[in-house]
Amino acid sequence: MAITAPTFSPPELAELNARFEPADPREIVHWAVETFGDGLSVGASFGGASGMAILHMVAQLKPNVHVFVLDTDYLFEETHETMRKSVPALGLQNVNVYKSKLSHEEQAAKYGSALWMRDPDLCCEIRKIEPNTRALEGKTAWVSGLRRDQSEGRADTPIVSWAPKFGVVKLNPLANWTEKQTWEYVMANKVPYNPLLDQGYTSIGCYNCTVPGVQGRAGRWQGFDKEECGLHT
């Protein structure tokens, strides 16, 4: 049965953002679960602390929520291990992995080897954006762990918006939280997190495009004027 999506006009979105700006993220997550029900989907990278905090919040209310993971085939082993440990620890019951339709070999044959070193935007389109589109098919709302303090490009991140690229309502419950608040939540609730975060990595993506020791998302796509994969822009 098709899920009917609640629709919000621009004034209604503005009203929701004003309402949620001073709200605790758990209140926003509760509203999302009540409003969207089975139409709700949570994107999980098992990389950053914010995403882990979101998973913990949602799992408390709806353990069978649709969670999707974009496995680019270039994820760190620590990321896979974090997922293996966190899913049962958080009680998540509906975690789904989406991959590119092209294997390593097929991508290399079609576009040349090490595409990420020549055209990272195209690589992200193939290995992240297209699978993300499939992951959200039939869904009405998408929850992510974006925060405004993660980069200059995310400084104006709304709490609630419309994501035209994917045809869903986009929710960022942690938008106005700081890194300190996020880690306080993770530690207070004993939320599992990626061990690479204790090894100098502040933003974790694909192993071939991520370096440690660089603050925030500047550690991604070294050598390119790029801090976003395209999912959130």
Question: How many beta carbons lie within 10 A of that of residue 233, not counting itself?
Answer: 9
What is each CA distance from 69 to 58, 75, 125, 180, in whole angstroms? 15, 11, 15, 25
Give the alpha-carbon dihedral of 108, 111, 116, 119, to 10 degrees: 170
Q: How far apart are CA 232 and CA 87, in angstroms?
A: 24
Site of tokens 């589109």? 133
At 132, list the tokens: 């993300």
- Does residue 229 carry a catalytic annotation? yes
Residue (of 229, 202, 197, 230) closest to 217 by Cα position: 202
E strand or H helix that includes residue 193: none
CB atoms within 10 A of CB 112: 11
Catalytic member of 124, 206, 209, 229: 229
Q: Residues with catalytic annotation? A: 229
